[in-house]
Structure 1
């Protein structure tokens, strides 16, 4: 089977050689073992986000260079130009829609596309949604109107982060914050979550955690209620991910404890601003963090607990869950189980699975490790556009 399949781990070898570094030099600079680096480069071990960030720093490149930015597909270049054009006109409003219901329909469409991880549909719909909501907010001037603008820009951040288009992601966060300043406190919480996400995607985990912890202190002083519980839950979930990438055990334990505690305010996950928080999504983040910490059996235990009943999470969250479970199973040498979970991710969110670095890495390693033909793997590789 072909072994030099695309993926972040393969990028490490390419960039390292371009920088004129030996494996020993890069391993020393990144604080990892030469053995681990060698396994990552040849495809015997999946590159994790934390190690990817360390290797990026060691080579003096950005994290998205290591993970690889998704290449726009046919027709998407023009759509991206249109998206950037309407984002530039944030302070140059046009005529608002005559029917305010148009705004609500636009926003409902954005939330649906985001929840389904329909990335192509989202890219198509966002320019019109930005134009409508921004023009309306300038005319109405109400917090609720500006909240809708912030929600649309949160979707732009989501789209850009999935593709690792980091310049676009950071611009979206800036626009989101400007809108959130004129909206309600919960909208500001979502903006902080996405701001910390930009730190996360750039590999600056400590900076992102500082942003989250500062926001948590502010929100803890607010009156108790569903909005406070939901907002603190979102912040602690993001803090959990960042602390896990930093491998700060005390911070991991604190954010995990608080995320679970606030989730207990809800019988099931609640959607606000196009995002979910509750028992399922809190557990979903625990799975991801346990995998980051290489506590793979704990991750699978949590997965079994929440899978006793059909998951109600939207496809985008279920897709992430399957990808993290695939990482855990692969690390535990359960290749068939990893392939099954990776296949589940592709079935639930094919567009996201195509561009997600975890999906690419798990597939790359499975292809490298399989020394005989595997029909399921061949089929999945074909979907991903990889020849085996």
Structure 2
């Protein structure tokens, strides 16, 4: 999806700073970031982390996602993106010809498979028509199942938009998802919509409000008349989002306290399921919880604690879809880079590109790690040249 012209996030910071006419000293002071760190981020000797990106965004009047830079699409995909935006815009305008539930179910299953495999190009190709089909079916049938299916399609639109940092589309998709849930309210559907809404706050760097959304949703779920399985699924999924948000808090001691609360909640919920449970286009279970805990430890600035979880990473990730394996490899690489293990970091970045090349190419931290590894290794070999070609980042 992303073109080879997209800048890595750290390099994008330098472009934004110059566009504001600010020196590094001025930006560092306004963002309360050390000048040395900012300088290293811009030249590629340190990766731009989410919390630093959020701090720089506040200084620049931008969201965290805008600081990291939007992932572009190829010229021949622009028409598909326009078609998707039009389908989202026509949320209350069903087509005149009826659509069967079987057609929507089959379409969503295909979209879910593309999402799990992180085949973002293929997902963009089919989402406009799937969204129109789901919209028509929901308006025609006006049943809880039909509206739930439409909400799930909007959740997938949010996922695609958030991965590319198209935050206008991501916000609109979440609003439409909530609207669909409200047409035939269910506590579980509302919980998944709250999870995605909190995700937009995560992408904007406003983690405190995102945590508020998560906590309110958890209270609502716990007081709703649900089966134990449905309650654990909803609470567990929200807790995964909560721990991620907590890891991004600037006050890391507070972040650790908040993260631990959500980590314990997620583990309790996951223990209710003997394996993974798939619902609403998402997967929840002990493995999913493990990947989020590892990522949160890295975000909290605890790389050694994160790496202590990776003694048998292949087994821990066995059977998970690429959409979870690739980010976990990237997070492991980030922890290794923080502890000075450049070769280990390069190995895990290579694994991320091998399992999910389309995600690794647009993942902000994946691109940042490559840029830093290229800078620190200061060599060109077949592996480096291959990764440079795949990512579009120059050696």
If the length of structure 2 is used for normalisation, what is the TM-score? 0.94
**Maintained 8 Å contact 1:10/1:41:** yes
What SS is found at the alignment partner of 1:271? Answer: strand
Measure how far apart 1:264 and its partner are: 0.7
Aligned counterpart, 1:270: 277
C-alpha separation between the residues in 2 aligned to 1:136 and 1:258? 36
SS across alignment from 1:308? helix
Cα deviation per residue 1:226-263 (whole Å; 9 max; x = unaligned)?
11101100101101011110132211110111111111
Is 1:42 aligned with 2:43?
A: yes
1:331 aligns with 2:338: yes
Equivalent in 364, 373, 376 of residue 366 of structure 1: 373
Q: Give the match for residue 16 of structure 2.
A: 15
Q: CA deviation at 1:65?
A: 2.5
Instruction: For residues 180-224 of structure 1, give each alpha carbon's deviation from its aligned partner in whole angstroms, at most 9, with x where no partner exists.
Output: 112432111111100000111111111111111111111111344
1:108 matched to which residue of 2?
A: 109
Pair 1:294 & 2:285 matched: no
The runs of at least 4 consecutive aligned structure 1 residues that moved more than 6 Å come to none
Alignment-derived partner of residue 219 in structure 2: 217
Secondary structure, in 3 states, of the residue corresponding to 2:278? strand
Task: Indicate the residue corresponding to 1:167 in structure 2.
Answer: 168
Change (3 A) 1:336 1:175: same
SS in 1 for 2:75: coil
**Corresponding residue number in structure 2 for 1:207:** 209
Q: Aligned equivalents of 2:29 and 2:46: distance in 1? A: 19
Distance of aligned partners of 1:19 and 1:182 in 2 relative to their CA distance in 1, 3 Å threshold: same
Distance of 1:238 and 1:35 partners within structure 2:
32
Classify the secondary structure of the residue corresponding to 2:248.
helix
What is the Cα deviation at residue 23 of structure 1? 2.1
Of residues 236, 247, 258 in structure 2, which corresponds to 1:251? 258
Residue in 1 that maps onto 2:242: 239
Which residues of 2 match residues 1-388 of structure 1 at below 5 A? Answer: 6-97=7-98, 99-183=100-184, 184-222=186-224, 223-246=226-249, 247=252, 248-304=255-311, 307-308=314-315, 311-388=318-395
Distance 2:311 2:154 in 1: 35
CA distance in 2, matches of 1:43, 1:370: 11
Deviations 1:19-70 (A, max 9, x none): 2222222222212211211111111111111111001112222322210101
Q: Distance in 2 between matches of 1:41 and 1:249?
A: 28
C-alpha contact (below 8 Å) 1:269/1:313 kept by paired residues: no
> How many residues are treated as equivalent by the alignment?
385
1:135-163 residue CA offsets vs partner (Å, 9 max, x unmatched): 11111111110000000000000000010
For the 8 Å contact 1:96–1:139, the answer to whether it is kept is no
Q: What is the Cα-based RMSD across aligned positions, in Å?
A: 1.6
Unaligned runs of 5+ in 2: 1-5
- Kept in 2, the 8 Å contact 1:103–1:129? The answer is yes
| Per-residue Cα deviation, 1:286-316 (whole angstroms, up to 9, x for no partner) | 1111111111111122233554355221110
293 and 310 in structure 1: CA distance in 2 versus 1, 3 angstrom threshold: closer
Provide the secondary structure at the position in 2 that maps to 1:15: helix
How many Å apart are 1:269 and its aligned residue?
1.7
How far apart in 2 are the matches of 1:311 and 1:344? Answer: 14
**Could you tell me how far 1:386 is from its partner in structure 2?**
2.9
Q: 1:86 to 1:43 in 2, by over 3 A?
A: same
Change in Cα spacing, 1:95 to 1:304, as seen in structure 2 (3 Å) is farther
